[in-house]
């Protein structure tokens, strides 16, 4: 998971609450209007960015930051999520950057559900940001928001051609209310969505600039190499702790029920220590289990009556009366559903907590 964090579990939140989180990023009361340094003289607090909701931040350089609440696990959300926001905000994808949200308890990313479940909320979030930015520009010009349009990361006054970049609207936009209801784009008006697009996370993964979990190196961190029993249900029989401790840099050997870990000053020592430990396993009841056994067990289970969740029509009758029948059996091997990088985590352990 490159730069990944898990997404927060659903919570009961009103639409207005959803769109309004962090709306007044600049704080303070609008007592005067300015898009320049005059704002300080008028008492308007300068804002680092305009954040109308949880997902979007617009900074002074005109860049739009999309806060990613789902992990990129190869399913493409590091591209689809910014695209949805960029489409609604009328922003070129080149003006969008990603910031990964902090992980919270109970979060999960799975089932390739991100785009399907987040499309509408993200569209509304983007539309809300666009609406407020248009209102900010309209206020600057003393015109109606209806006479303005958003285009290419800027607000344009249609009749005069005047324009203001989003970055110049940060202070005023941060003081304006976020609308409770917004109009999202029609699919027929899409400029970005539905078009071929290179993945935004591709270059970083190719040139090595992408940061993965295994790249985390806080000060004073120790490294561990761990070996698990190669068979589900198996346990650790023995490990040569003394041999592992003789390796320079090894600090400690930890035994678990089905694994052994060697902690060291650096990765090389941890790996050499683990090799020296030479763990032996009790493979348990699944020692001889193979692919044919698994397929056979699944086939046998499929012949038994299942739990009926819902019945629509009469499939047995339809099949019996059909002049032509097609039957196919699909099988997939038992494989590990695992990330390409070595599975890892970084823990901060103190006297009172971990």
Element (H, E) at 19: helix 15-20
Kindly write down the DSSP assignment for every residue of 332-345, as one continuous string: --------SSPP--
Q: What pLDDT does residue 333 have?
A: 87
d(CA 67, CA 115): 14
d(CA 130, CA 344): 40
d(CA 154, CA 95): 11
Secondary structure class of 254 (helix, strand, coil): strand
Q: What pLDDT does residue 43 have?
A: 37
Confidence of residue 3 (pLDDT cuts 50, 70, 90): very low
Q: What pLDDT does residue 224 have?
A: 95
* Residue pLDDT, tens place only, 84-118: 999 999 999 999 998 888 766 556 777 788 888 88
> Distances from the Cα of 188 to the Cαs of 81, 134, 269, in angstroms?
19, 22, 59
Both tokens assigned to 241: 């702790």
Entry pTM: 0.64
Confidence of residue 180 (pLDDT cuts 50, 70, 90): confident
CB hemisphere CA count around 353 (13 angstroms): 0
Mean pLDDT, the chain, integer: 84
Q: Is the pLDDT of residue 69 over 90?
A: no
d(CA 28, CA 30): 7
The whole-number average pLDDT for the span 244-251 is 98
* Strongest mean pLDDT among 99-103, 204-208, 211-215, 239-243: 239-243
Q: Residue 201: which of 67, 82, 90, 103 has the closest Cα?
A: 82
d(CA 154, CA 90): 8
* Least trusted range by pLDDT, from 53-62, 188-197, 246-255, 340-349: 340-349
> Distances from the Cα of 183 to the Cαs of 62, 74, 128, 131, in angstroms?
23, 31, 8, 9
Q: Which residue has the tokens 């629509």?
A: 312
Q: Is the pLDDT of residue 27 over 60?
A: no
> Distances from the Cα of 311 to the Cαs of 49, 307, 308, 315, 326, in angstroms?
53, 11, 7, 9, 22
Domains, the chain, in order of start with CATH, read 15-206 (3.30.365.10), 216-302+342-354 (3.90.1170)
Q: Dihedral sign for Cα 63, 68, 73, 74, please.
A: negative
Element (H, E) at 155: strand 154-157
* Least trusted range by pLDDT, from 8-22, 27-41, 234-248, 299-313: 27-41
CB hemisphere CA count around 167 (13 angstroms): 10
Between 14 and 204, the higher pLDDT residue: 204
The whole-number average pLDDT for the span 261-286 is 97
Sheet holding 49-53, edge to edge: 49-53, 56-59, 64-68, 96-100
Q: What percent of the chain has pLDDT over 70?
A: 85
Both tokens assigned to 202: 């591709």
d(CA 106, CA 308): 30
Q: What pLDDT does residue 73 have?
A: 80
């Amino acid at each position: 998971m490159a730069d990944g964090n898990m997404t927060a579990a659903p919570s009961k939140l009103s639409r207005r609450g959803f769109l309004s989180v962090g709306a007044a990023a600049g704080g303070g009361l609008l007592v005067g209007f300015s898009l320049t340094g005059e704002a300080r003289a008028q008492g308007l607090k300068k804002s680092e960015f305009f954040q109308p909701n949880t997902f979007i931040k617009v900074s002074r350089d005109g860049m739009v930051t999309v806060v990613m609440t789902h992990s990129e696990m190869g399913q493409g959300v590091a591209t689809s999520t910014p695209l949805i926001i960029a489409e609604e905000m009328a922003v070129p994808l080149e003006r969008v950057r990603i910031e990964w949200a902090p992980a919270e308890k109970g979060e999960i990313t799975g089932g390739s559900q991100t785009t399907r479940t987040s499309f509408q909320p993200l569209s509304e979030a983007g539309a809300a940001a666009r609406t407020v930015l248009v209102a900010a520009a309209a206020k600057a010009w003393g015109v109606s928001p209806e006479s303005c349009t958003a285009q290419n990361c800027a607000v344009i006054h249609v009749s005069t051609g005047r324009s203001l970049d989003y970055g110049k609207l940060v202070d005023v936009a941060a003081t304006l209310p976020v609308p409770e209801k917004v109009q999202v784009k029609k699919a027929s008006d899409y400029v970005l969505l539905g078009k071929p697009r290179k993945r935004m996370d591709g270059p970083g993964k190719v040139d090595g600039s992408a940061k993965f979990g295994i790249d985390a190196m806080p000060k004073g961190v120790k490294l561990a190499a761990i070996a698990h029993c190669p068979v589900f249900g198996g346990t650790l029989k023995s490990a040569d702790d003394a041999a592992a401790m003789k390796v320079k840099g090894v600090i400690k050997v930890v035994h678990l029920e089905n694994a052994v870990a060697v902690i060291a000053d650096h990765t090389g020592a941890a790996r050499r220590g683990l090799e020296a430990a030479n763990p032996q396993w009790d493979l348990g009841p699944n020692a001889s289990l193979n692919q044919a056994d698994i397929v056979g067990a699944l086939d046998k289970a499929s012949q038994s009556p299942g739990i009926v969740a819902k019945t629509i029509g009469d499939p047995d009758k339809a099949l019996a009366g059909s002049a032509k029948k097609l039957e196919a059996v699909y099988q997939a091997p038992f494989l590990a559903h695992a990330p390409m990088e070595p599975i890892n985590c970084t823990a901060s352990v103190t006297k009172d907590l971990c």
